[in-house]
Structure 1
Amino acid sequence: MKVLNLPAPAKLNLFLHITGRRDDGYHELQTVFQFLDQCDHLRIRPRNDGRIVVFGPDWLPAADNLITRAAQSLRVRTGTGLGATIELIKQLPAGGGLGGGSSDAATTLVGLNHLWETGLSRAQLAILGLELGADVPVFVHGVAAWGEGVGEQLTPVLPPEHWYLVLVPDAEVSTGKIFSASDLTRTTPKRRMRTAFEGSDGLSNDCEPVVRRIYPAVDQAFEWLERYGKAQLTGTGGCVFCPFETESAAIDALAKIPSGINGFIAQGRNRSPLYTQLGELD
């Protein structure tokens, strides 16, 4: 049976504004998502017995994980009798704001839709993905996007595909802790997409002050990276990134990071590496 080896790319939030809070407790956002060419990888093999078997790092829960939930959701939605064995090769840090878990779920939906020949559109897969997490739809659609609502209202955009130095502080940030913090800014005025990048100094991440206060390792990463330009937090953190015009400039900076801080170089992608690879298989 056919086996798929597919990437689950990281994302950056090029800014993140919290514009309000809904009655259900979820926060209203404005953001821009861009993918990176740094990825987790999933090896997906279909099964005839209907079972979903997922394995990967030792810490991955055997049953209640986003990959299993995504596969089961697609099975229920389509009524297929097929199953799958899915191996996760984890490269992206957990709790880093790079969207690794959401990306893994999206690659599962897209990959199984392809293998099982269940025929759902990207829009239909994104609806399933939203039930798993607010970031899953952008990974399903696979294009850089302006996001609103809880991040699920997406409009394609084409930001510059910079090279980035991404620092990975020794801190697994709790999204719940950040969004429940009393000093989190929740009233940033909404911006119009067409004019948002005019005077882009006003584009920031509203979670940054809270994350830097609670997690000293993130604050340390900011202080070091800011010598090279505008350092920013992605998502609720704790990864911190800075754009560079060339790969060589980013590599030179990476070589100078102090001990105790990990990092990597990646290029921004406005088309998800997932669809680039699937296109090569078709």
Structure 2
Amino acid sequence: MTIEVLVAPAKLTLSLRMVGIRDDGYHLVDAEMVTLDLADELEVSPPAGAEGQLTIEDRTGGLSVPGGPEDLVTRALHLVGRTADVVVRKAIPAGAGLGGGSADAAAVLRWAGFTDLVAAAGIGADVSFCLVGGRARVSGIGEVVKPLPFRDQAFTLLTPTVGCPTPDVYRRWDEMGGPLGDYGNDLEPAAMDLVPELAEWRDALGDATGRRPRLAGSGSTWFVEGEYPGDGRRIVRTVPTTVPA
């Protein structure tokens, strides 16, 4: 049996502006995203049964990942018309705004040789960027990915023990009348209103680093640029590609 090992790097959203809403309800964004050296690992093998099986092994100690037919890996397999047994070994925490599910789906698309960014965005808004990787400006509903020159950067992440369900954050943003974020992320006010405990984690990282943390995407991870080792904090670096050398 042939087993292929895929690498699925996390993404970090450095800035996120909400610039409109389409007639179908999808939000239009203008964002800068980068690929990180934090990655899930996927093992893909021929299916033992007719439908294939998805197994998720969580190594993060954080929120659980339910899997099932709505998992983005399953949806990616359906999109490319492939069947496989897939084992996902999670290193990217769930519900953290780091694109773990999108990264896994993008890894499957790369494995299948799939490059249609518009169709990829139909799986999830961050899948198109995760398929391209590096550093890019992302617009539309996530399907427009314009590569930018790579910057070698280090960031310190602090991921709370609470998650921020992305659909709920967007819904709260709508309910609040579409507020602007003061620190480059328009979803931050909505995430803070939805999960008030985020403030404690933001303040802890800010006090430890002397810098004002920013929220990663829809949350719940806070980050600052630079290396500030410490309890519960993770140091990550940007990488220029989603494919390891």
Taking structure 2 as the reference length, the TM-score comes to 0.86
Cα displacement (A) at 1:59: 4.6
Cα displacement (A) at 1:129: 1.6
Task: Confirm whether residue 208 of structure 1 aligns to residue 188 of structure 2.
Answer: yes
Larger gyration radius, structure 1 or structure 2: 1
In structure 2, relative to structure 1, the CA distance for the partners of 1:59 and 1:35 (3 Å cut) is closer
Query: What is the percentage of aligned positions where both structures have the same residue?
Result: 27
In structure 2, give the amino acid aligned to 1:167. L
Match of 1:254 in 2: 229
Match of 1:234 among 216, 222, 226: 216
Task: Confirm whether residue 178 of structure 1 aligns to residue 178 of structure 2.
Answer: no
Cα displacement (A) at 1:56: 1.5
Unaligned runs of 5+ in 1: 76-81, 114-119, 189-201, 245-249, 278-282
Q: Is the 8 A contact 1:52 1:68 kept in 2?
A: no
Match of 1:266 in 2: 236
Equivalent residue runs for 1:184-199 within 5 Å: 185=178
Cα displacement (A) at 1:209: 2.0
Q: Is the 8 A contact 1:31 1:146 kept in 2?
A: yes
Structure with greater helix share of residues: 1
**C-alpha RMSD of matched pairs (Å):** 2.3
Task: Confirm whether residue 150 of structure 1 aligns to residue 150 of structure 2.
Answer: no
- Return the alpha-carbon distance in structure 1 between the equivalents of residues 66 and 171 of structure 2: 26
Cα displacement (A) at 1:66: 1.5
Cα displacement (A) at 1:73: 1.7
Task: Confirm whether residue 63 of structure 1 aligns to residue 63 of structure 2.
Answer: no
Provide the secondary structure at the position in 2 that maps to 1:145.
strand
Q: Is the 8 A contact 1:53 1:68 kept in 2?
A: no
In structure 2, relative to structure 1, the CA distance for the partners of 1:230 and 1:157 (3 Å cut) is farther
Provide the secondary structure at the position in 1 that maps to 2:197.
helix
In structure 2, give the amino acid aligned to 1:237. G
Equivalent residue runs for 1:77-96 within 5 Å: 83-96=83-96
Cα displacement (A) at 1:184: 5.3
Provide the secondary structure at the position in 1 that maps to 2:244.
helix
**Residue range with higher mean Cα deviation, 174-183 or 16-25:** 174-183
Structure 1 residues 240-259: Cα deviation after superposition (integer angstroms, max 9, x where no partner): 11111xxxxx2xx332x4xx
Match of 2:132 among 137, 141, 146: 141
Match of 2:159 in 1: 168
Structure 1 residues 41-97: Cα deviation after superposition (integer angstroms, max 9, x where no partner): 10111348763221124753343321112112211xxxxxx6321101111111111
- Return the alpha-carbon distance in structure 2 between the equivalents of residues 9 and 105 of structure 1: 11
- Return the alpha-carbon distance in structure 1 between the equivalents of residues 134 and 50 of structure 2: 32
In structure 2, relative to structure 1, the CA distance for the partners of 1:203 and 1:187 (3 Å cut) is closer
Match of 2:102 in 1: 102
In structure 2, relative to structure 1, the CA distance for the partners of 1:92 and 1:219 (3 Å cut) is same
Cα displacement (A) at 1:239: 0.4
The size of the alignment, in residue pairs, is 235
In structure 2, give the amino acid aligned to 1:13. T
Match of 1:78 in 2: none
In structure 2, give the amino acid aligned to 1:242. V
Cα displacement (A) at 1:203: 6.0
In structure 2, give the amino acid aligned to 1:212. M
Match of 1:199 in 2: none
- Return the alpha-carbon distance in structure 2 between the equivalents of residues 216 and 68 of structure 1: 33
Cα displacement (A) at 1:205: 0.5
Equivalent residue runs for 1:33-48 within 5 Å: 33-47=33-47
